[in-house]
């Protein structure tokens, strides 16, 4: 639990007006945490979309796959009025004046004493891909609704980008027995996120499930007459398509901060307390590049847990009177492909990646550990759900590489013992 | 206080285990196991954190 500080809202020392820009997970958690910490001043939450805060990970998972998808409204989103939060939804912030302490939303100016920037990231698109019906990115609820409708309609699907979102969409298409082709520009998907070798291991899940994955191939043109009809590739191939989903990553939504005086470098640059260095201004979530003490380096995460936790920390620090609380974390993300769950904890930049359990060439299940120097810095699991958080704990405690390997041996032995016991029991059952 | 798991929502992401490993553990099948189904003495704040950090909103505490 983060220490609470004496907050004196309404006095000369504490801020009276908190503005949070961005009404997704980080923004919602920010306003909730501000109230929980005892802040009694005014709170305004500004969101570009017209929807109440909703959850994004399900958009490429359950929302596409469940028989009756429900809009994943976030807990507490319906109770914002009870918290005394003024909601300004449906129009994005367009500018920030840090001298006069004003957020601009079109013609409107909203004054603040404390500000949390949580505008997230925007899906990157392909040049020349816009304007045709049937071509989508997947970031928003509206995107997901359109993609779901197309999949339900039996669309021939081309996914551009074999990252996590692209792969989840390919899984959703595969689940419906639709022809799906995944086009990936790099030779190995996911190398920046989990490293070359494990990127290849995960990509093998596509091949194993019969999905046509084409690496080292670019999209030359997306063609059609008002609607997409085909995708032309750099190797000359032409893919007929009713639905094209572009999953080529996201960029932090910082364009509205031009001229604000904030330091922006692939995200809003912050210290370890999520403070931007400009009076009263903090950042949280996908948009924030903050110094993570756990790994002693600046990072920008596009992960659920990071957004939720940073939103709360940034808001408490923004409305608090004393020095802010540091935010330190072992990053965690997950992705669901073809009934397999991929989970990653830590950081992928490693001197060595070692598979300590499983064999990617067998069924895809595995545990791989990441070493930097003599330290355990990361763990990737595919369908090893009981293990991943134990490795997260080890990494958080600064475990050595040897600690990680020792733990892996323990786990393997436990599995072998259990399997042996089951065999014995099965034998007995058979004899009886 | 009781710890209540909504099995329809839980997908075994393990955030609760990360926060309170003495109480929660995701097993090999991806199901959440509880070491005890009531909040241990002095651990209410920790358990509240575990509830809040669930991405699937599958946990709650009840009297």
Residues A243-285: tens digit of each pLDDT: 999 999 999 999 999 999 999 999 999 999 999 999 999 999 9
| CA–CA min distance B20, chain A (Å) | 10
A332 close contact with B: CB closer than 8 A: yes
Interchain proximity A309–B53, CB inside 8 Å = yes
Structure tokens at B1: 């206080």
Instruction: Kindly list the residues from chain A whose CB atom is less than 8 angstroms away from the CB atom of residue B46.
Output: 1
Interchain proximity B28–A385, CB inside 8 Å = yes
Residue of B nearest to A388 (CA): B14
| CA–CA min distance B6, chain A (Å) | 14
pLDDT in tens, A353-404: 999 999 888 888 999 999 999 999 999 999 999 999 999 999 999 999 999 9
A309 close contact with B: CB closer than 8 A: yes
Contact A102, A8 (CB under 8 A): no
Tell me what pLDDT residue A116 has: 98
Looking at the whole model, is its pTM more than 0.90? Answer: yes
Tell me what pLDDT residue A5 has: 43
Pick from A75, A309, A389: CB nearest B17: A389
Tell me what pLDDT residue A13 has: 63
A75 close contact with B: CB closer than 8 A: yes
Q: State the pairing for strand pair A212-215/A180-184.
A: parallel
Assembly ipTM = 0.96
Rounded CA separation A324/A302 (Å): 23
Interface test mutation site (partner B, options A385, A392, A395, max chain B beta carbons within 10 A): A385
What is the average pLDDT across A81-97?
97
B30 close contact with A: CB closer than 8 A: yes
| CA–CA min distance A341, chain B (Å) | 9
């Amino acid at each position: 639990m983060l220490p609470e500080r004496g907050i004196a809202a309404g006095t000369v020392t504490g801020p009276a007006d908190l503005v949070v820009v961005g009404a997704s997970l980080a923004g919602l958690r920010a306003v909730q945490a501000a109230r929980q910490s005892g802040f009694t001043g005014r709170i305004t939450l500004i969101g570009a979309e017209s929807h109440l805060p909703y959850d994004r990970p399900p958009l490429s998972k359950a929302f596409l796959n469940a028989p009756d998808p429900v809009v994943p409204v976030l807990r507490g989103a319906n109770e914002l009025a009870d918290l005394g939060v003024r909601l300004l939804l449906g129009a994005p912030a367009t500018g920030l004046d840090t001298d006069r302490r004003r957020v601009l939303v079109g013609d409107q100016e909203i004054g603040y004493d404390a500000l949390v920037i949580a505008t997230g990231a925007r899906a990157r698109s392909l040049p020349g891909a816009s304007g045709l019906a049937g071509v989508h990115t997947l970031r928003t609820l509206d995107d997901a609704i359109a993609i779901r409708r197309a999949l339900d309609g039996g669309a021939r699907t081309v996914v551009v980008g074999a990252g996590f979102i692209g792969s989840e969409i390919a899984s959703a298409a595969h689940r419906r027995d639709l022809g799906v082709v995944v086009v990936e520009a790099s030779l190995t998907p996911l190398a920046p996120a989990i490293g070359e070798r494990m990127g290849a291991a995960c990509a093998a899940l596509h091949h194993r499930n019969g999905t046509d994955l084409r690496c080292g191939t670019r999209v030359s043109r997306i063609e059609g007459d008002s609607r997409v009809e085909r995708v032309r590739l750099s190797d000359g191939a032409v893919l007929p398509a009713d639905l094209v989903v572009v999953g080529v990553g996201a960029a932090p939504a910082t364009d509205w901060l031009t001229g604000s005086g904030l330091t922006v470098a692939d995200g809003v640059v912050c210290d370890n307390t999520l403070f931007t260095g400009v009076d009263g201004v903090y950042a949280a979530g996908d948009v924030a590049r903050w110094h993570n003490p756990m790994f002693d380096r600046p990072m920008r995460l596009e992960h659920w847990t990071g957004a939720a936790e940073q939103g709360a920390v940034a808001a408490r620090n923004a409305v608090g009177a004393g020095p802010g609380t540091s935010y330190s974390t072992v990053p965690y993300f997950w992705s669901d492909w073809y009934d397999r769950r991929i989970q990653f904890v830590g950081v992928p930049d490693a001197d060595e990646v070692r598979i300590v359990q499983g064999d990617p060439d067998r069924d895809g299940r595995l545990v791989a550990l990441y070493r930097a120097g003599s330290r355990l810095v990361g763990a990737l699991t595919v369908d090893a759900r009981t293990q991943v958080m134990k490795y997260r704990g080890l990494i958080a405690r600064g475990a050595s590489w040897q600690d990680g390997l020792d733990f892996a041996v323990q786990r393997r032995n436990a599995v072998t013992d259990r399997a042996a016991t089951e065999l014995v029991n099965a034998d007995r059952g058979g004899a009886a | 206080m009781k710890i209540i798991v909504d099995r329809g929502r839980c997908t075994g992401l393990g955030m609760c285990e990360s926060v309170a490993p003495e109480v929660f553990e995701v097993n090999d099948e991806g199901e959440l196991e509880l070491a005890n189904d009531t909040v241990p003495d002095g651990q209410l704040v920790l358990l509240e954190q575990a509830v809040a950090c669930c991405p699937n909103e599958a946990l709650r505490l009840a009297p």
